[in-house]
Structure 1
């Protein structure tokens, strides 16, 4: 940490991995754009693409779903948030690499199944049911397995698994929605009918972007939960079976969703949505809420272990285990100045990591290197705790805003004082170094010797 930031970045492997992956993301996005946007000449005719006009309009509607979903998953993992580059790389993988790979394999599989089916109309849904779930879930889950390998000690909870998987799914759904919206917009623009292109796009947006927006994030979350369970388990059997079970659950949910949306129509589709899809989403919401309470209880119990041996103050366990209390502490630390805010952030992150480290040591998934990390975190907490806000007060010290403003306000530039005139604002003192000192400083007014009281 004593070295400059540019030098540290150059020596970090993750920095170079990030640079390489950015080029890979850009290449996949450009190749996918050239494949689906312009019109292409194919044997026997001309393949109509999305068109350059439809892409910006489709991206605007797709962003209305992707941005709130991404913010929701970032807000979800608040106990131990990942670094920004991890979030960005996960979302970009789903948006660029996963969509490009899935498009190639799904297109090849659809053509192959159509040929094998000998023109059977029923073969049109085979790729969506039997191929797309496994291909798309594999493409999205690949980045999760890479993260589990590269940062296995930073992936500490199931909430982290759900958040990262949800970001990969949201990125995939973002680009996929652009493709679907662009196709329906271009089709409506080239078809003479009563439905306008914008109206047709809005109808599809209602179906994909509003009613079924949860699809890809929900499916991929199963893989994220399986990986999180594997990383926090000491059993080798669980480490192998849990990710596979999570991936199979994701593929099965995806297959069920595609089957229902492809083969079921009308009232039956509505009933399946009400009695199957919505309960599945509510079950995930209940699971996430329970995990929030579980993680808070884990942090409180593990920090209490350090408080019992005197390595941490007793009053730290409860505030660090409550998200609302931590947020209030951050808010009140703002009025203590920049250093107080940074100290509060560092203490909260250090004590949270210390709690998860203690839990990993108790589970037996961290070796003796955890002891060195434990000492570092305890030393960091002791050095920053004096300036941090641990237990927030009933009300923030808003009066310090005036003090900070007054401290930054420059003093008024008064003209220098000159003797014998007034010196300073009150005029009580002579100007320093200009007034005579001693008996010579006393002056008397002239007296008339003929003066006498009146009337004499």
Structure 2
């Protein structure tokens, strides 16, 4: 029997391409092309400068966000979809709706300045956070199994936010270049507050993740809505404060810093929780031979995991290293699956089928990087987190 381990690790039927994800990526890419084409036509020579400057923060923050999930990496296709949804679909529709909001609001007010203020404080936060949140709600509905903890919700939300911010920054930088204010605008949007959108949308991500892990009931319905409300409120508060000159900008920056520190603490606690799940559930599989205590120790430490992959690569080359990566991910997913079973977050039959599939991946991978079997003390046993 030929089974695709990557399909099992991604929770999709073997032999079947993720058609929904592929279509969503294609649609999001088309929307991004439309936005970029509009910016290129209206920005002229400033478009190239604006796009290059908008890409700079991505080189810093994308690796940082991806590093948060090293113990249980998310599927690349899902991460790409989240980013492109923010950069394409959400950015394109928000551009249209925010412009319409500005026109409607300005018609009811005395000046354009008032129209811009109320659009930024009320209209834009509602429109943008709902649009960014759509892809997270879609994951909750169709790919709930990928949301194994609050960290996953934060990571997917941050990818959406980074994509949206990058596209939005292009237009801001184009406008700033045309009025000779590119330096200050770049400083404010790329240096002072590069994580506004990821931080706000992370509230929605947390709510969606809580719902994914909750038993059927009120919390599963309410958590995403509470998270979305928090995202809108934080976005509105930030825009209102930052429009009040330097004191307001300082307040907005402090708010963002506090939120970022809280999210960092949450991610650290989530990692400790994951280690606890590994230590609790995986030793029960020692009698099956698919895991040894030395493996449990290795899986509980990022440093030991890296040492194990390096050892596997030196021992058996690329195939062995890939087998070790699959083993680590499958074992981690197995521990998380037991937690989902305790929370009744999926049907028992579905959970048991996935458990058996993950054990198959672990057994197959172990036979590749450790063909002789055995439970001898391996090089990573003494590594610590």
Is 2:342 aligned against 1:362?
Answer: yes
Structure 2 residue aligned with 1:393, among 375, 379, 382?
379
Alpha-carbon distance in structure 2 between the residues aligned to 1:228 and 1:118: 43
After superposition, the Cα gap between the structure-2 partners of 1:13 and 1:184, relative to the gap in structure 1 and judged at 3 Å, is: same
Residues 148 and 209 in structure 2, CA contact (< 8 A), matched pair in contact too: yes
Q: CA deviation at 1:270?
A: 5.1
* Residue of structure 2 equivalent to 1:184: 176
74-83 or 383-392, larger mean C-alpha shift: 383-392
Is 2:319 aligned against 1:339?
Answer: yes
Q: CA deviation at 1:334?
A: 1.3
* Residue of structure 1 equivalent to 2:89: 97
* Residue of structure 2 equivalent to 1:143: 135
* Residue of structure 1 equivalent to 2:296: 317
Alpha-carbon distance in structure 1 between the residues aligned to 2:199 and 2:358: 35
1:155-188 Cα shifts (integer Å, max 9, x gaps): 2121111111100000000011111001111222
Residues 221 and 250 in structure 1, CA contact (< 8 A), matched pair in contact too: yes
Structure 2 residue aligned with 1:27, among 24, 27, 30?
30
After superposition, the Cα gap between the structure-2 partners of 1:271 and 1:85, relative to the gap in structure 1 and judged at 3 Å, is: closer
Q: CA deviation at 1:36?
A: 4.1
Q: CA deviation at 1:326?
A: 0.8
Give the structure-2-normalised TM-score: 0.87
User: Relative to total residues, which structure has the larger helix share, 1 or 2?
Assistant: 2
* Residue of structure 2 equivalent to 1:172: 164
- Greater gyration radius: 1
- Written as runs of structure 1 = structure 2, the 5 A alignment for 1:17-416 is 17-38=20-41, 49-51=42-44, 53-119=45-111, 121-188=113-180, 200-262=181-243, 264-266=244-246, 268-269=247-248, 271-273=250-252, 275-307=254-286, 312-336=291-315, 337-366=317-346, 367-388=348-369, 393=379
After superposition, the Cα gap between the structure-2 partners of 1:216 and 1:279, relative to the gap in structure 1 and judged at 3 Å, is: same
Residues 97 and 127 in structure 2, CA contact (< 8 A), matched pair in contact too: yes
CA RMSD of aligned residues (A): 2.8
Give the structure-1-normalised TM-score: 0.75
1:143-163 Cα shifts (integer Å, max 9, x gaps): 111122221112212111111
* Residue of structure 1 equivalent to 2:8: none
After superposition, the Cα gap between the structure-2 partners of 1:10 and 1:316, relative to the gap in structure 1 and judged at 3 Å, is: closer
SS in 2 for 1:326: helix
Residues 332 and 392 in structure 1, CA contact (< 8 A), matched pair in contact too: no
SS in 2 for 1:368: helix
Residues 207 and 224 in structure 2, CA contact (< 8 A), matched pair in contact too: yes
Query: How many residues end up aligned between the 2 structures?
Result: 369
Q: Any stretches of 5+ residues in structure 1 without a counterpart?
A: 39-48, 189-199, 397-456
Residues 312 and 369 in structure 2, CA contact (< 8 A), matched pair in contact too: yes
Alpha-carbon distance in structure 1 between the residues aligned to 2:13 and 2:209: 28
Q: CA deviation at 1:308?
A: 7.4
Residues 302 and 359 in structure 1, CA contact (< 8 A), matched pair in contact too: no
Q: CA deviation at 1:279?
A: 2.2
344-353 or 306-315, larger mean C-alpha shift: 306-315
